[in-house]
C-alpha cells in the first residue's frame, strides 16, 4: 500500500512540475513578445478598435460572421444609413405613435446590428442567438399566435359571418404577389426568385408577421430576414399605407354608411368556434395546423373561462416577452450587409404591392357584396381584411369617423380583421401543401 501511495505521489508531483514549467515558459515568451509603446502609440492602438475608425477607414478584406466579404460601402455609408433608418423608426413609434410595441424593438435591433466590430447580430452575438432560438425555427410566431388567440374576440365574426368574405378577399394580395415575384425574376437580372421564394414573399400581403416568418422558415430560409423585416414594417405602417387606398376606392357616401347593430354571441358559440375551425383544418389542411392550432388554443383558453391565469399569461406576460425577442431578432436583419442589397429591396417593393392589393381587394369585395345585400356594408371595413390585428380595424374606424364622428365601425371591422388572421394562416397552409 505504501508503494502505491509513493508512486501516486510521484506522478502527481511530476505533473505539477511540468505544468509549472510550461506556465513559466509561456510567461517568459509573453514578456519577450511585448514591446513597450509610447503614449501616442497606445492611443493609436485604442483608436483602431473604435467604431469611428471602423466607419471612416473600412477594411477591404473584412468578412462577416458567415465568411462573406463586406464591401467598403456597407462598412461605412451603409451602416450610417441603416442607423438613420433605425432613428426614423424610433420617431415613428414615439412621436407618431405608429405601433411602438413593434417599431421600438425592431429599430433598436437595427441600431445594435449596425454597430461595427461588436458583431452583435452574428451567430454568436446576443441578437444572433435570439434569432436562431425563435425565428429561424419558427417558434416565436407560434407563441405569438397563441397570444393573439387569447386576445381575440371572434364574436364580431360570428355575429356577422359574411364579413369572413372580406378577410378572404384580402388574401388575394398573397397570390398576386407570388406571380409578381416570378415575373420580376423572369424579366430582370437583379432578382432570381424561385417558386418557393415567390410563395414566401407573397405571404407578406396578408400583413401577418408571424405567418410570414413561419412560411419563410420553411420555404425560403435564405430570405427569412428580409421577409420578416418587410412583414413587420408594413404591419406597423398600416396607418400610413392604408388610408390613401381606402379614400381612393370609396366615395364619401360609402364612407358614411352606418351598419346595423351586431347580435349578441353566446358563450357556447365562442367555445365551439375554435374547436370547429381546428377540426376543419385537421381534415382539410393539416399543413396549416401549427398556426391555426396555436391560434385556436389561445382563444379556447380565453373563452373557456376556467383558466384565467393561463389566459392572462398568454395575453400579457408571455406575448410581451416574445414580442421583445421577436422585434430585436427582426431588427437584427436591418444590418447594412443584409438589408442594402437588391434582393431585399425587391422583397420590400413586392411586399408593399402585396399589402396594397390585399387592402384594395377587401374594399372592392365589400362594394360587390353591397350590390347583393340588403344590409349595407361600409367598404372601409374591407381594408381590415388584412390580418394586422387590431391595427387595421382601428384604421377603418378612424377613417369612418373622419366622415361622420358618430359612425363607430370598430366592432364591425373586427369581423374581417380576425377573419384575415385565419385567412392568412389558411393561405400559408395552402402554400406549404403545394410547394413543400
Per-residue pLDDT reduced to its tens digit, 231-260? 888 888 888 889 999 999 999 999 999 988
- Residue 63 DSSP code: B
> Could you write out the three-class secondary structure of 98-116?
CCHHHHHHHHHHHHHHCCC
Average pLDDT over residues 168-193: 81
pLDDT of residue 127: 92
In a domain, 209, yes or no: yes
pLDDT of residue 28: 46
Q: What is the dihedral of CA 325, 329, 330, 336, to 10 degrees?
A: 150
In a domain, 86, yes or no: no
Q: List, in order, residues 6 or more apart from 144 with CB less than 8 Å away.
A: 209, 210, 319, 322, 323, 326
Residue 412 to residue 434: CA distance in whole angstroms: 34
Residue 287 to residue 253: CA distance in whole angstroms: 43
- Give the pTM: 0.83
Lowest mean pLDDT of 232-236, 311-315, 357-361, name the range. Answer: 232-236
Q: How many domains does the chain have?
A: 1
Q: Are 415 and 156 in contact (CB under 8 A)?
A: yes
Lowest mean pLDDT of 69-73, 86-90, 135-139, 225-229, name the range. Answer: 69-73
Q: How far, in whole angstroms, is CA 282 from its chain's centroid? A: 26
Residue 67 to residue 64: CA distance in whole angstroms: 5
In a domain, 84, yes or no: no
Q: Are 106 and 232 in contact (CB under 8 A)?
A: yes
Q: How confident is the model at residue 20 (pLDDT cuts 50, 70, 90)?
A: very low
Residue 272 to residue 290: CA distance in whole angstroms: 19
Name which of 324, 259, 298 is nearest 421 in CA terms.
298
Percentage above 90 pLDDT, the chain? 37
In a domain, 348, yes or no: yes
Q: Are 175 and 300 in contact (CB under 8 A)?
A: no
Angle in degrees, 0-180, between the axes of helices 126-134 and 139-151, rounded to the nearest 10: 70
Residue 234 to residue 359: CA distance in whole angstroms: 12
* Cβ burial 78-93 (10 Å sphere, 16+ → b, else e): bbebbbebbeebbebb
Lowest mean pLDDT of 77-81, 90-94, 175-179, name the range. Answer: 175-179
Residue matched to cell numbers 388610408: 243
In a domain, 221, yes or no: yes
Q: Report how far apart, in Å, the C-alpha atoms of 176 and of each of 223, 413, 422 are.
A: 19, 24, 19
Q: Which domain holds residue 261?
A: 137-435
Whether omega before 390 lies within 30 degrees of 0, making that bond cis, reads yes
In a domain, 350, yes or no: yes
pLDDT of residue 13: 47
Name which of 71, 87, 80 is nearest 51 in CA terms.
80
Residue 70 to residue 64: CA distance in whole angstroms: 6
Torsion sign, CA atoms 198, 389, 360, 327? negative
pLDDT of residue 9: 57
Residue 269 to residue 303: CA distance in whole angstroms: 10
In a domain, 361, yes or no: yes
CA max distance for the chain: 106
Task: Indicate left, alpha or beta for 57 from its phi (over 0: left) and psi (-120 to 50: alpha).
Answer: beta
In a domain, 6, yes or no: no
Name which of 327, 354, 66 is nearest 213 in CA terms.
327
pLDDT higher than threshold 50 for residue 24: no
Average pLDDT over residues 118-145: 89
Lowest mean pLDDT of 70-74, 78-82, 384-388, name the range. Answer: 70-74
H-helix or E-strand containing 11? helix 2-33
Amino acid at each position: 500500500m505504501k508503494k502505491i501511495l509513493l508512486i501516486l505521489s510521484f506522478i502527481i508531483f511530476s505533473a505539477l512540475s511540468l505544468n509549472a514549467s510550461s506556465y513559466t515558459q509561456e510567461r517568459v515568451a509573453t514578456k519577450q513578445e511585448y514591446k513597450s509603446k509610447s503614449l501616442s502609440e497606445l492611443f493609436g492602438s485604442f483608436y483602431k478598435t473604435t467604431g469611428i475608425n471602423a466607419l471612416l477607414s473600412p477594411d477591404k478584406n473584412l468578412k462577416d460572421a458567415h465568411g462573406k466579404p463586406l464591401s467598403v460601402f456597407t462598412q461605412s455609408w451603409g451602416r450610417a444609413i441603416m442607423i438613420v433608418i433605425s432613428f426614423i423608426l424610433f420617431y415613428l413609434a414615439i412621436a407618431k405613435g405608429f405601433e411602438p410595441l413593434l417599431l421600438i424593438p425592431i429599430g433598436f435591433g437595427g441600431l445594435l446590428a449596425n454597430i461595427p466590430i461588436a458583431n452583435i447580430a452574428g451567430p454568436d452575438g446576443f441578437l444572433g442567438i435570439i434569432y436562431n432560438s425563435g425565428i429561424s425555427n419558427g417558434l416565436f410566431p407560434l407563441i405569438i399566435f397563441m397570444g393573439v388567440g387569447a386576445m381575440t374576440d371572434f364574436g364580431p365574426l360570428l355575429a356577422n359571418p359574411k364579413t369572413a368574405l372580406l378577410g378572404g378577399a384580402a388574401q388575394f394580395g398573397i397570390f398576386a404577389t407570388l406571380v409578381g415575384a416570378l415575373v420580376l425574376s423572369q424579366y430582370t437580372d437583379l432578382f432570381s426568385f424561385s417558386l418557393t421564394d415567390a410563395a414566401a414573399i407573397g405571404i407578406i400581403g396578408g400583413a401577418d408577421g408571424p405567418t410570414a416568418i413561419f412560411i419563410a422558415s420553411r420555404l425560403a430560409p435564405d430570405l427569412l430576414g428580409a421577409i420578416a423585416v418587410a412583414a413587420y414594417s408594413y404591419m406597423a405602417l398600416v396607418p400610413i399605407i392604408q388610408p390613401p387606398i381606402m379614400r381612393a376606392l370609396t366615395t364619401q357616401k360609402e364612407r358614411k354608411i352606418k351598419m346595423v347593430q351586431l347580435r349578441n354571441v353566446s358563450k357556447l358559440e365562442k367555445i365551439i368556434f375554435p374547436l370547429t375551425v381546428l377540426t376543419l383544418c385537421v381534415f382539410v389542411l393539416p399543413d396549416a395546423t401549427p398556426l391555426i392550432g396555436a391560434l385556436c388554443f389561445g382563444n379556447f383558453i380565453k373563452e373557456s373561462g376556467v383558466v384565467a391565469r393561463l389566459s392572462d399569461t398568454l395575453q400579457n406576460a408571455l406575448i410581451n416577452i416574445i414580442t421583445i425577442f421577436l422585434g430585436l431578432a427582426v431588427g437584427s436583419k436591418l444590418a447594412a450587409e443584409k438589408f442594402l442589397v437588391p434582393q431585399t429591396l425587391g422583397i420590400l417593393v413586392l411586399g408593399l404591392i402585396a399589402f396594397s392589393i390585399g387592402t384594395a381587394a377587401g374594399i372592392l369585395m365589400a362594394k360587390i357584396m353591397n350590390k347583393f345585400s340588403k344590409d349595407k356594408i361600409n367598404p372601409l371595413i374591407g381594408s381590415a381584411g388584412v390580418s394586422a390585428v387590431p391595427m387595421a380595424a382601428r384604421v377603418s374606424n378612424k377613417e369612418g369617423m373622419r366622415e361622420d364622428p358618430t359612425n363607430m365601425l370598430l366592432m364591425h371591422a373586427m369581423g374581417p380583421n380576425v377573419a384575415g388572421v385565419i385567412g392568412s394562416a389558411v393561405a400559408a397552409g395552402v402554400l406549404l401543401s403545394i410547394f413543400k
